[in-house]
Amino acid sequence: MRLILASASPRRLELLGQLGIVPEVVASDIDEHRLAGETPVEYSRRIAQEKGLAVAQRFLGESVLVLSADTEVVLGDEVFGKPLDDGDAARMLRRLSGIEHQVISSVCLIDCSQVRLATRVLTQTTRVRMRELSDQDIAIYISSGESRGKAGAYAIQGRAAAFIERIEGSHSSVMGLPLFETAQLLAL
């Protein structure tokens, strides 16, 4: 079967490479607004599934698997998406500074060969503690450009690794694709 990654994320592609998988890439474009009353976990699961379904519709009835994912940085019930600009990134980093938050990643696998799309979703929640950040730390980090396009305005695999005191859970999940759950879905 062909495997398609429904994501334009170079990080997710790189992580799949760690499993020896080189999928085709077909980016999905969906509305990622959180619904009223939706918990952060429900939100992440829904978005991962909708990303996959948006791509899977193109391959209905074909021998194709579509893999999609969603990663959210969460503090309490607040979901930190990608920052709108550098000011928003600074706001997020100030809120995360010195405290523990969660990173919720959901991964979805869709089998397009079925008469109806067969969908499975697994979710990983990781606890992350960030050290206290000074205004200078935040300014230098934001000036690197690394915060752009990253949930919670940081990338654990980059310069922000120096900000992370500890994690409990999956490092690859915080990077954007929980490899353990992905391998389970793909039965590797």
* Range of the structural domain that residue 118 is part of: 2-186
Domains held by the chain: number: 1
The residue-averaged pLDDT of 1-21 equals 94
CATH value at residue 46: 3.90.950.10
Which residues, including other chains, have CB under 8 Å from residue 2's CB and lie 6 or more apart?
A: 24, 62, 63, 64, 65
119, 167 contact by CB (below 8 A): no
Q: What is the pTM of this model?
A: 0.93
70 catalytic, yes or no?
Answer: yes
Confidence of residue 188 (pLDDT cuts 50, 70, 90): low
- Among 70, 77, 86, 137, the active-site one is 70
Confidence of residue 118 (pLDDT cuts 50, 70, 90): confident
How many alpha carbons lie under 13 Å from residue 99 in its C-beta half-sphere?
12
The residue-averaged pLDDT of 4-32 equals 94
Q: Dihedral sign for Cα 154, 155, 161, 165, please.
A: positive
Q: What is the CA radius of gyration of the chain?
A: 17
Dist CA 138 CA 85 (whole Å): 14
pLDDT tens sequence across 160-182 = 999 999 999 999 999 999 999 99
